[in-house]
Amino acid sequence: MISYTCDLCGRKMIEDESVRYVVKIEVYAAYDPLELSDDDMIEDHRAEMRELIEKMKDADPQELEDQVYHAFRFDLCAECQKRYLQDPLFRKAVRRGLHPTDN
């Protein structure tokens, strides 16, 4: 039997429990379209690209990837799902100085 644990409160949930919620979050770099001029298209950007590649050689690959895209998946029990939907970014809890799992 597969068992799940609520990733917010730690409560054990079992596979055949009536309800289990999954929260998926994607965080990715949202680049706005650039305005390109004719001069931008003519300019040689190879030196700029070499410099960027050189900087990336010493960087941590996971850190570079996280700067562009990261996905999360969480299992929530019914009670935590209700709390999550009321304040998905936990702004209210943070303003009160509470940890997200505090009541």
What are the pLDDT digits (tens) for 25-74?
A: 999 988 776 777 888 788 888 999 999 899 888 888 888 888 889 999 99
CA distance linking residue 88 with residue 13, whole number of Å? 21
Query: What are the sequence ranges of the domains in the chain?
Result: 3-95
What percentage of the chain carries pLDDT values higher than 70? Answer: 88
What pLDDT, on the 0 to 100 scale, is given for residue 64? 84
Mean per-residue pLDDT over the chain, rounded: 85
> Is 29 within 8 Å of 91 (Cβ atoms)?
no
Q: Is the pLDDT of residue 98 over 90?
A: no
Q: Is the pLDDT of residue 103 over 60?
A: no
Residue 41 per-residue DSSP state: H
CA distance linking residue 76 with residue 19, whole number of Å? 9
Tokens of 84: 């999550």
Say which residue the tokens 């409560």 belong to. 11
